């Protein structure tokens, strides 16, 4: 959630930044509503003060046995005005809160302004894009050769978009997860094993609600109102919900390995079959709580930790600094790390690292405090470290051989009992 003080200070500048994310965004009605609420509160306080003063005088007159009739004049009108204003304020404050929850985070200064993802800026490349001297197979064809997946039976169980990893496919998935955990723990991240179902206020605090309600899976009956997490970011952001942290403990760097559940798979095109766009996938999530001064440095450290995974797997990738219109709702700055997928003939994101500044912490009331000073809102950062579905695709398609065998990267072999090649 944005700081209303920032919006009030320079509404036109804030409006320009908001519209750089989405032309439909506007903070001006929200600022106007806030100012109206402030005016009504002032009027309400005036009426309340008048009523209190009159009540005091009436009490004194009664103790002295004096006539209270003159003092009782307009008392009913004042009480009715207070009731009416209180009711109006309650309605307006709910509307104001809803409007604030729909406003995205402001982009950092210096982020390229564009609504077109084609304008994203490449800031780094690792290795050269692989070239093949033979016709390549996509991961579905390779998976069929090596019996790594079972999409038909997965569809029988749950419908399309819910994969089953089978045999060596499952072992590859677990090996990737174990490799990533080891890298991030080495880099100072503390592992958390978090709930997959969370309360509405927790998912709202991360910025998923109310805007993305229709993209979420949920359970709602007489006993439960819970949401399946679209990413462990939601659970970890809620880990310090409504807490005041000791500034000396910051930065707090966490990772968690969870399935992620998303409804958005339905729009996949013909090239996005298999593992490219699915309803459930596994992901190692990095999440950090920092002081405002630490967040830029930690952002770079998170990018480096994600990149180390891809470097260990010897994969070509590129880092793209996203333009304003391609960033997520909660992000002030985002770098996507993309791998080349030969079977799709294009780059796909396998990690997205974002600095959300104090946008999430204002929702989750997560603060920090130095001894003897007032609490302040922390900065939160999140990043995939990494999502395994597209990483699996990259691993298979980039390491395939003419006969369909797949050479496994040296860094992954210790997690597979030393297996070097998946042979046909």
In this structure, the dihedral spanned by the alpha carbons of residues 291, 294, 298 and 299, taken in order and rounded to 10 degrees, is 90
277 is catalytic: yes
Contacts of 334 (CB under 8 A, 6+ apart): 321, 322, 326, 327, 328, 352, 353, 354, 355
- Active-site residue (options: 352, 354, 364, 389): 352
153 is catalytic: no
Long-range contacts, stretch 27-36, CB < 8 angstroms, 24+ apart: 27/2, 27/103, 29/99, 30/4, 30/96, 30/99, 30/100, 30/103, 31/4, 31/7, 33/92, 33/95, 33/96, 33/99, 34/4, 34/7, 34/8, 34/96, 35/8, 36/92
Q: What is the C-alpha separation between 218 and 213, in angstroms, rounded?
A: 9
- Per-residue burial over 362-381, b if 16 or more Cβ lie within 10 Å, else e, is bbbebbbeeeeeeeebbbbb
352 is catalytic: yes
- Active-site residue (options: 262, 318, 363, 367): 262
- Active-site residue (options: 318, 384, 390, 397): 390
367 is catalytic: no
20 is catalytic: no
Helix, strand, coil shares of the chain as percentages rounded to 5?
45, 20, 35
Structure tokens given for 157: 């169980």
- Active-site residue (options: 277, 318, 363, 367): 277
Sheet holding 244-246, edge to edge: 244-246, 367-369, 376-377
* Catalytic residue numbers, as ranges: 262, 277, 349, 352, 390
């Amino acid at each position: 959630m944005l700081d209303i003080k920032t919006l009030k200070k320079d509404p036109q500048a804030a409006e320009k930044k908001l519209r750089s994310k989405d032309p439909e965004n506007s903070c001006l009605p929200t600022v106007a509503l806030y100012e109206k609420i402030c005016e009504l509160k002032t009027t309400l306080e005036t009426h309340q003060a008048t009523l209190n003063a009159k009540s005091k005088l009436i009490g004194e007159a009664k103790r002295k046995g004096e006539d209270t009739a003159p003092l009782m004049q307009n008392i009913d009108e004042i009480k009715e005005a207070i009731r009416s204003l209180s009711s109006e304020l309650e309605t307006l404050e709910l509307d104001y809160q809803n409007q604030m929850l729909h406003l995205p985070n402001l982009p950092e200064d210096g982020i390229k302004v564009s609504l077109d993802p084609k304008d994203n800026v490449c800031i780094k490349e690792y290795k050269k894009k692989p070239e093949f001297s033979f016709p390549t197979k996509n991961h579905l064809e390779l998976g069929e050769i090596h019996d790594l997946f079972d999409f038909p039976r997965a569809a029988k169980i749950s419908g399309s978009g819910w994969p089953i990893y089978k045999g060596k496919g499952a072992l590859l998935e677990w090996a990737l997860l174990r490799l990533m955990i080891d890298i991030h723990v080495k880099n100072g991240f503390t592992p958390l094993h978090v709930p997959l179902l969370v309360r509405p206020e927790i998912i709202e605090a991360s910025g998923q609600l109310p805007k993305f309600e229709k993209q979420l899976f949920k359970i709602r009956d007489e006993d439960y109102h819970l949401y399946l997490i679209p990413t462990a970011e939601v659970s970890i952001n809620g880990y310090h919900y409504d807490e005041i942290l000791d500034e000396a403990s910051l930065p707090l760097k966490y990772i968690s390995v969870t399935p992620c559940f998303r409804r958005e798979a339905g729009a996949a095109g013909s090239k996005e079959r298999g593992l490219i766009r699915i309803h459930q996938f596994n992901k190692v999530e990095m999440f950090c709580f920092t002081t405002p001064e630490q967040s830029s440095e930690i952002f770079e450290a998170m990018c480096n930790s994600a990149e180390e995974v891809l470097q260990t797997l010897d994969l070509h990738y590129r880092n793209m600094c996203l333009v304003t219109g391609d960033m997520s709702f909660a992000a002030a700055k985002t770098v996507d790390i993309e791998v080349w997928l030969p079977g799709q003939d294009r780059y796909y994101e396998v990690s997205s690292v974002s600095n959300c500044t104090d946008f999430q912490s204002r929702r989750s009331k997560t603060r920090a405090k130095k001894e003897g000073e007032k609490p302040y809102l922390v900065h939160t950062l999140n990043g995939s470290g990494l999502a395994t579905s597209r990483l699996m695709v990259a691993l298979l398609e980039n390491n395939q051989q003419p006969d369909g065998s797949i050479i496994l990267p040296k860094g992954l072999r210790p997690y597979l009992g030393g297996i070097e090649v998946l042979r046909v």
